């Protein structure tokens, strides 16, 4: 009896050995107030092996023309994948300054536009920008495929994730996207509050901060992601006429060509905000005090200024201290230790 089972087992290993094992599909853990499921496109469902491959690529400088720059050169895990306190990064292959501040990377699966102006519609296409940009990875895609094909580990990993297909720029982008989608952040003190609906979790100063926040800021930095994922002019500039550098200084207008979108940028999430200074699309504000000063005293009026910022916001010193205390509850320390905790059983 035992022997025949062994025999069948050996037979199967022998005859099935040539086939590639299927990657492991799974459902990541996502809180109910995020909708309970991870949004993902039907053509690129996340698998455990796909995430692992995307992670390896994300941290691997093989993805740049000089083999020195990886995504992590600018997106630092310990800072929720934002940049190292730099206004503008120059960590790419050319060493030249980019034009915008490096945003953090989390809860990306729920976004419908990537970059400060929403210039990329999905993560699968977004990644080609940093890979090919001369001031980022400066990487020719065909040359990247050759490097990966000649690598000791990548061919096997790609084969398993992508059903034995050859390594292609599409598969590369799909792997990056799977890893990025799995970066879900929902373990801050604020999340404890959302889960239990119990404000005793907060100190009295934090509770006051939440009220100030709801009154002045939550309209755009919306519950539960602390962004509405939309584009607004929050009054940091008066004119948007600089057409240089492919119009990156004109906001969402660069994408839509609609003058109503001049100076509008995507509302950034305020989750992990203490880790992501400096602030705004060009990193112009070094501290939260600079940000508060902006919203209370420096709003610049222009045609596209958001309605919600047309009435003056007043914040007392106590309000500012309370807001900062509330912002402390938005840091997800678990996430920076283990950014893919949502995929754990």
With tokens 């990993």, the residue in question is: 157
- In whole angstroms, what is the distance from residue 230 CA to residue 247 CA? 19
Minimum CB–partner distance for residue 66 and ligand HEC (Å): 12
* Of the candidates 204, 340, 218, the residue with the CA atom closest to the CA atom of residue 270: 218
With tokens 């584009």, the residue in question is: 231
Q: Which of residues 297-316 bind ligand HEC (CB under 6 A)?
A: 306, 308-309, 313
Q: Which of 103, 148, 184, 186 binds ligand HEC (CB under 6 A)?
A: 103
Of residues 39 and 164, the one with the C-beta less far from ligand HEC: 39
Identify which range of 18-26, 40-48, 148-156, 218-226 contacts ligand HEC by CB under 6 A.
218-226
- Show Cβ contacts of residue 298 under 8 Å, excluding neighbours closer than 6 positions: 235
* Of the candidates 283, 255, 263, 262, the residue with the CA atom closest to the CA atom of residue 113: 255
- In whole angstroms, what is the distance from residue 278 CA to residue 275 CA? 9
Q: Which of 34, 115, 249, 253 binds ligand HEC (CB under 6 A)?
A: 115
* Of the candidates 211, 198, 182, 240, the residue with the CA atom closest to the CA atom of residue 318: 211
Identify which range of 6-14, 141-149, 154-162, 213-221 contacts ligand HEC by CB under 6 A.
213-221
Task: Examine residue 273 and tell whether it contacts ligand HEC (CB under 6 A).
Answer: yes
Of residues 12 and 318, the one with the C-beta less far from ligand HEC: 318
- In whole angstroms, what is the distance from residue 42 CA to residue 274 CA? 35
Footprint of ligand HEC (CB under 6 A): 58, 63, 69, 71, 73-75, 89, 91-92, 98, 100, 102-103, 105, 108, 114-116, 126-127, 130-131, 136-137, 176, 180, 216-217, 219-221, 232, 234, 236, 265, 267-268, 270, 273, 276, 279-281, 291, 295, 306, 308-309, 313, 323
């Amino acid at each position: 009896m035992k022997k025949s089972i062994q025999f069948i087992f050996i037979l199967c290993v022998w005859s099935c050995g040539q086939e590639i094992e299927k990657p492991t599909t799974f459902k990541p853990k996502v809180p109910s107030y995020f909708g309970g499921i991870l949004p993902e496109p039907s053509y690129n469902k996340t698998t455990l092996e796909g995430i692992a491959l995307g992670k390896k690529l994300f941290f691997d400088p093989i993805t740049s023309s000089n083999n020195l720059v990886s995504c992590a050169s600018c997106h630092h895990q310990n800072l929720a994948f934002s940049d190292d306190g730099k206004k503008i990064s120059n960590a790419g292959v050319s060493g030249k300054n980019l034009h915008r501040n490096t945003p953090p990377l989390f809860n990306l699966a729920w976004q419908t536009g990537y970059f400060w102006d929403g210039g990329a519609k999905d993560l699968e296409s977004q990644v080609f920008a940093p890979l090919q940009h001369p001031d980022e990875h400066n990487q020719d895609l065909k040359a990247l495929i050759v490097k990966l094909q000649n690598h000791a580990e990548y061919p096997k990993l790609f084969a398993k994730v992508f059903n034995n297909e050859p390594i292609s720029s599409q598969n590369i982008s799909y792997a990056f996207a799977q890893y990025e989608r799995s970066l879900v952040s929902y373990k801050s003190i604020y999340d404890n509050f959302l889960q239990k609906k119990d404000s005793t979790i907060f100190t009295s100063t934090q509770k006051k901060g939440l009220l100030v926040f709801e009154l002045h800021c939550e309209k755009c930095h919306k519950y539960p992601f602390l962004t509405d994922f939309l584009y607004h002019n929050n009054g940091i500039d008066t004119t948007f006429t600089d057409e240089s550098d492919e119009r990156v200084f004109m906001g969402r207008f660069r994408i839509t060509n609609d003058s109503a979108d001049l100076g509008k940028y995507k509302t950034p999430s305020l989750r992990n905000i203490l880790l992501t200074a400096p602030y705004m699309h060009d990193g112009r504000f070094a501290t939260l005090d600079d940000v508060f000063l902006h919203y209370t005293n420096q709003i610049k009026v222009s045609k596209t200024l958001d309605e919600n910022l047309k009435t003056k916001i007043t914040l007392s010193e106590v309000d500012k201290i309370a807001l900062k205390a509330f912002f402390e509850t938005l840091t997800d320390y678990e996430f920076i230790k283990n950014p893919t905790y949502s995929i754990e059983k």
